[in-house]
Amino acid sequence: MQESMQKTSTAYAVSDANVHAQLADLIVRKCSADDATRRGLCMLNARRFDDAIASFNDARGLGASEEQLRTLLGAACLGNGDYATAATEFTVASDDEVSPQINAIRAAHALWSADRPDEAVITLRRAIKRNPEHAELHFQLGTFLASCDQLEEAELRLTQALSIDRNHVDAHVSLALTCGVRLDPKQAVNLLRHAQSLRPNDARIASLLTHAVRAATQQGHAVSVRATVEGSSRVLPDRWIEQIAAIVERDPDFVDAFLSLPPGSVNTRVYENLLRTLEQALQHSPEHAELHYHCGRVLDRLDRPLEAIEQNEQAIELNPNCVRAFIELGKLYQQTNRKADATSRLEQAVRAGADYADVHFLLGNLYRDQGQVLKAKEAYRSALALNKRYEKAKHALSALPK
């Protein structure tokens, strides 16, 4: 029984690790997609249409949707034992309030997929009779009618949806597409411009706006381009940052899912959001040494070495046996040309249990650079005793004076 429980526990751990890796990958892609969209919007505002479209296609190719993030975040919260938050992420809307309308829309889509478009349209018409002020029902009916080439009524339905909900983004987009069909790109630009201002990081809307502006310009219309470009680096909402912080607080090594990636392959915005997450976690657990250590690592990736040193020093102050913080400090002090401090911290790392070949090799380099040849030889030999194939240590040892 105990063995069975251990296997089950291991299976859950693997599952959680897999969810964390997927969540990290999706956040990286989301940040990259956001940057590609911002770049495309700048190109659009500069009327460089081809470059704008290329950037938007790059963003869409990354395939990082908020729905995916919500699903993975819910799974991560579930693995973290935070069932209430997981339920919130998995819940799309309040069933009590919208269930009849949502059911009608689902039924209409099912009928459409079953190649019964007339019944799908009838289903939505009946739902609108019961609730004529429901913008989403008018939008869905307008979209279906447009697909049936009934453009005149489709436009009326989409216009009705917007009169009920001025900020219904998808209705703006669908109405703009009908304008495109009847060769009225100028009106399409107006609709898409408003949609883009409501959803500035949507690459599809930005791409459609670019095509509409180019078409209107080719028709001789003087169209001004004022696409909204978000200036904030906060890709993830504060609510999600708090939830990811709860995961990090319980499992600080979740950060490794990001930091294990090569530095050049990760967008700076990823690290900025990751730093926000760690800072949020530290507000709840300021005495958590591992959180300070990981915070230091992220600050180092953001090229803020002095702050990184401060966080790692805080880590070893809270936990004098935090070996990873000692090693990180050795590297940081070496980067900032403080060789004596680097040497001291790596020696402490070895005494704390970091009897690793690469640590001895780093110590050997520091001893060598400070003219301590005998200590350098000893350190390189210790590295080779642990790893006989350590070529760098072999070359460094042979290069020292006899």
Tens of each residue's pLDDT in the chain, 402 residues: 333 333 333 333 334 556 666 666 767 777 777 777 767 777 777 777 777 777 777 777 776 566 655 665 665 555 556 666 555 555 433 333 445 777 788 788 888 888 888 998 999 999 999 889 999 999 999 999 988 889 899 999 999 999 999 999 999 998 999 888 888 888 888 888 888 888 887 888 888 888 888 888 888 887 777 776 665 545 566 666 777 777 777 777 777 777 777 666 677 878 888 888 888 888 888 899 999 999 999 999 889 999 999 999 999 999 999 999 999 999 999 999 999 999 999 999 999 999 999 999 999 999 999 999 999 999 999 999 999 999 999 999 999 887
* Of 198, 161, 165, 191, the residue nearest 176 (C-alpha): 191
Handedness of CA 136, 138, 139, 141 (dihedral sign): positive
Under DSSP, is residue 302 helix (H, G, I), strand (E, B) or coil?
Answer: coil
Contact 201, 64 (CB under 8 A): no
pLDDT at 227: 74
Under DSSP, is residue 129 helix (H, G, I), strand (E, B) or coil?
Answer: helix
pLDDT at 6: 39
- State the Cα–Cα distance between residues 388 and 55, nearest whole angstrom: 49
- List the Cα angle 246/247/250 in 5-degree steps: 85
Contact 379, 360 (CB under 8 A): yes
CA 106 and chain centroid, separation: 30
pLDDT at 255: 79
pLDDT at 379: 93
pLDDT at 233: 47
- List the Cα angle 289/294/300 in 5-degree steps: 130
Residue showing tokens 């690469």: 358
**Tokens encoding 54:** 């290329």
- State the Cα–Cα distance between residues 214 and 176, nearest whole angstrom: 14
Q: What is the DSSP letter of 319?
A: -
Q: pTM score, two decimals?
A: 0.57
Residue 111, CA distances (Å) to 104, 105, 108, 145 in order: 11, 10, 5, 14
Q: Around 349, how many Cα atoms within 13 Å sit in the side-chain half-sphere?
A: 27
Indicate the Cα dihedral angle 243, 249, 251, 252, nearest 10°: 110
**What is the b/e burial string over 334-360, where b = at least 16 CB atoms within 10 angstroms of the residue's CB?**
beeeeeebbbbbbbbbbebebebbebb
Cβ contacts of 136-140, under 8 Å, gap ≥ 24: 136/101, 136/105, 136/161, 136/168, 137/101, 137/104, 137/105, 138/164, 138/171, 139/168, 139/170, 139/171, 139/174, 140/105, 140/108
* Of 22, 27, 34, the residue nearest 60 (C-alpha): 34
**What is the b/e burial string over 378-390, where b = at least 16 CB atoms within 10 angstroms of the residue's CB?**
ebbebbbebeeeb
pLDDT at 308: 94
pLDDT at 110: 81
Contact 267, 31 (CB under 8 A): yes
